[in-house]
Every structure is written in C-alpha cells, then in structure tokens.
Amino acid sequence: MKDTTLVIMAAGIGSRFGGGIKQLAPVGPGGEIIIDYSIYDAIQAGFNKVVFIIRKDLEEDFKEIIGNRIEKIVKVEYAFQELDDLPAGFTRPEGRTKPWGTGQAVLSVKGLVDGPFLVINADDYYGKKAFKEIHDYLVQEMDEDASIYDLCMAGFMLTNTLSENGGVTRGVCQVGADGYMEKVTETYEIRRNGDTLSAKNEEGEPVELDLNRHVSMNMWGLPAKFINELEKGFPEFLASRKEGDIKSEYLLPQVIDRLVSEGKARVKVLETPDKWFGVTYKEDKQAVIDSLRALIASGAYPEKLYQ
C-alpha cells in the first residue's frame, strides 16, 4: 500500500490564533475543531501522515491547541508559509501583509511528501466520502509516471456548499462526459436568493450559475512531482504582477486550470453528495455545531474523537 499524506492549509488562520479566531473555535462536544474531523476521516480512509502548513510565528500555539494531540495518533510534520519566502530576485512589495495564496502554501511542503497527497483547507468540513474516494484514487488509479499530471479533486455540488450568512468563493468547474474537469473558474460572492443565485467574476461583473454545478472546495489529490510545477510557476506569477499590486495571489486552482487548458494535466472529478459546512462567517459557528451534533447522533462520529 502506498504511503499517502494529508496536507492541511492552515497558514491563513490569522494572527490571534487561540484567542477566539473563528476557524479554531471548538465545535465538537469534546472541544474538537473542524480540523479534527478532517483528520479523523482521513485516517479512516487510509492516510498515514499529516502535514500542517502554518506560519512560523504560530507554531508554538498551533502545537499546543492541536498539533501535539494529533502527533499521538499519526505521523505529523510542519511546513511554513511565509510572506518573505520568495524565489531569488524577488522581494515583498511594500504594503503586502498576506501570504501569496494556496499555490505558495502547497509549494512549502517540498521535501516533506514523497508520494501522492491530498490538500484541504483547515476550516472546511468535507464529509467522509470525499476522503475515501480520493485516497482510493491516489493508491489504485493515479499514474504518477504519466507524461501529463494525473490529478483528482472532490466534486461537490454547488447547492451543498453555500452559507446562509453571506457570499462565498468557489472554484466553479466544467466537467466533461468522461468525468474529467475541463475548466475551473474562481467565482466570488455566490449567494442563494430563494431558488436563484447571484455571483461575480474576478472583475466584479455578475455571472449566472446553476445550483447543480460542480465546484472545487480546494480538495485536490496530487502526485509529489506536482510540487516541481508550482516551484517553476511561482516566479513566473511574481514577474507577471502589475506594479503596485499587493493583493494578487498564486492560487492552486488557477495553476491547475492553466495546465489542463495546455494539455499538461488531467483532473478526475470524484463526485461527492456530502454537504460542506465551515466557518466562512462567525455566524456560521452554530450551524457547524448543530451539523456535527446531527452526525454524531447518526453514528457517523463518536461523541469524542480518537478515544
């Protein structure tokens, strides 16, 4: 059986870590946070290592709140996403305060994964099926030696990924009849208005969407060699920025979309019926607590994890 790694992007959780930051608020009956449930599901699916991507200044607090606890049940390593961790010849522009996006985040695990791995967000609940589907693809179907990148993603239905408390950003996918992704487009401010949706593109213009479209929730299955592609593309991204731009991000879905359009990657969409929930807004917390209570009552999870 191949070794498989769960990579959790947690570098964007904020500077007030442990002081009430929404992504780390306890939501389970035993004080668990959302990351706990993702790790639990991943271990059950067969993943045998976890890499946390965090900021160096949060390392001590992060280990105290979750890392030291998880180390007792699965192998854990840490990668660090830093604002100033840039290729030779580049410096942080004045006024830039945030890291460089999910592409830079995944690039930070270079040297820590030597086999296929799954990338997820720290503050999203994905459901059990997606972890199992992706794990099985990584160990049974992924061709790591293919001439093009062999990738996979969890394909959620848009209707199952919306917040009742405001707009969300999703990677809206176009999927072919063969089950492979043809295109993914970052789409912003997606809101449900009764039976209809409103949304905006990158330029802020309105776009039409269907509730039954597949979307990416940053849950990607990748071969280890894909990190080399991110390393090659990062300086190209930095060089292409307009003067004075302090907000643009090197985004993993955009890298993958470009590779697909160039015929350099294929992405198998593994459809999941599970309902996402997360803490996009602080008002989402109670809905997350209620959803987890219902899952525990149904027998999906024990009252306290890892016991």
pLDDT per position as a tens digit, 238-277: 999 988 889 899 999 999 999 999 999 999 999 999 999 9
| Whether pLDDT at 281 is above 80 | no
What Cα–Cα distance (Å) separates residue 185 from each residue in 49, 63, 181, 214, 253? 31, 35, 11, 11, 8
pLDDT for position 18: 47
pLDDT for position 163: 87
Q: At what angle do helices 252-261 and 226-240 cross, to 10 degrees?
A: 100
Percent of the chain with pLDDT over 90: 73
- What value, to the nearest 5°, has the Cα angle with vertex 180 and ends 220 and 125? 30
What is the DSSP code (8-state) at residue 67?
I
CB neighbours of residue 103 within 10 Å: 21
CA 7 to CA 136: how far, in whole Å? Answer: 16
| Whether pLDDT at 134 is above 80 | yes
| Whether pLDDT at 296 is above 60 | yes
Q: Which of 123, 42, 125, 128 is nearest to 292 (CA)?
A: 125
| Whether pLDDT at 106 is above 70 | yes
pLDDT in tens, 7-58: 999 987 654 444 556 667 789 998 899 999 999 999 999 999 999 999 998 8
Residues in the chain: 307
pLDDT in tens, 166-177: 899 999 999 999
pLDDT for position 16: 43
Q: Residue for token digits 């949706």?
A: 197
CA 188 to CA 201: how far, in whole Å? Answer: 6
203 Cβ contact list (under 8 Å, min separation 6): none
- Mean pLDDT (whole number) for 179-204: 90
pLDDT in tens, 208-245: 898 889 999 999 999 999 999 999 999 999 999 988 88
| Whether pLDDT at 282 is above 60 | yes
